[in-house]
Structure 1
Amino acid sequence: ISLIGNKHFDDQKLLEGLNLEQGQVYYKRRADSHTREILKLYHESGFADAQVEQGLNFVQDVNVVNIEFNVVEGRQFRIGRVDITGNEQTQDKVVRRVLDEYGFAPGQLYNSDLTPRQGNGKLEQYVQRMTLAEEVIIRPVSPGNGADNRKDIKVDIKEGQTGSLMFAGGVSSDSDVIGQVVLEQRNFDITDWPESFGEFVTGKAFKGAGQSLKLALEPGTRVSQYSVTFSEPYFQDKPLLLNVR
């Protein structure tokens, strides 16, 4: 087992945790997974253009195969500017605080393993889930500045439907006629008061901070009930969940 071309990481660092030892039976599938693990370590450490290829040297007389990992490290990149587009309702800070949880912010090492070229990466899925977006695409928009080795990033948000209004009615077992109205906004902003009546009517107010508000009204001929539920997933801009009922 040998490595060629690795400078940033020594052999021990690249091979530790691979469960790869001399004398083991060679399986191509397992060896390919080792190649991917080495490449993943480089991508996580900012080497976005790194390449790892596996070379085999068969010694037929003794039924032995020597494995050689050829590494082309390339340059190590940090994140430059992060531009967020497509978020007409959702505030920038709602997206950035989710990125911050993964250390994906200006000045940090550019972890390209989180946003693979084929899309639907781990970070894209997480941002999509946390912002209730229909689709999220994160891509570098610059090849990297030769002077400071930085990549500018574009985060493109395709916003989804976050509000709903439901009406229902019926008769209970004791002949009480009841109704139900449920209003829910999953991208609520308690501080975004409308500047005009039109903003309130069109639903442009009270939106964009990633909070959740649910109003449930159950008027009846005998008994009426109501409930209000408010949720803030980033209390004081920290990943602390606040629920109020």
Structure 2
Amino acid sequence: MQVAVLSGAGISAESGVPTFRDAETGLWAKVDPYEISSSDGWRAHPERVWAWYLWRHYMMGAVQPNNGHRAVAAWQDYADVHVVTQNVDNLHERAGSKKVYHLHGSLFEFRCDRCQVGYEGELPEMPEPVETVDPPRCVCGGMIRPSVVWFGEALPEDAWQRSVEAVTGADLVVVVGTSSIVYPAAGLPEFALANGIPVIEVNPERTPLSDSATVSLREPAAAALPTLLQRLPALLD
């Protein structure tokens, strides 16, 4: 059986990761999200954007995968599992998932904003958040930026293609912790349903997908996912 898991901010929030829409605290409480998540903001204040993402990168070191992440990894013992995630953290990988496609990039990959070559150099330590940090420079003279997708940027082509293939070839699609409003990712479960592939939504809150999903569970990921495969016959009956 092939299972495609589409995960969003909700599953990581259960590990204590603030979602993008959560109010930030301290230095970043009043920062416009567009200012730190757009090419315009990067060009205007690269030292501010770099400081924010560097802090998020190191903050993730104190966050651990939860039972939802671990359950998805455990499914690999019984199925061919492909994880399509909108999250920029590495919690699925740290839990043990092998096939993970980051639609919105990763906080753990960096590249030059000019030549696009990946950056493997050391990053400065950041035990506490600060307002500005100068980004490292590439040998070409460009600035090193996080490999995340900012407002107005295209999704990584390879990750998107692998995600489409994962859903197209799936026997089951599980949508967990996503608002189902951010396209094109939100179109993947719609595509599955249109092609007769069952879709199970796991989310404590209702979303635009809830009414059309084959099954919609109002449960947190960490509670629902560990027993989901065992419950499949009853859920899909």
| TM-score for the superposition, normalised by structure 1 | 0.22
1 or 2, which has the higher helix percentage?
A: 2
Structure of higher RCO (CA pairs closer than 8 Å, 6+ residues apart): 2
Q: Larger Rg: 1 or 2?
A: 1
1 or 2, which has the higher strand percentage?
A: 1
| TM-score for the superposition, normalised by structure 2 | 0.22
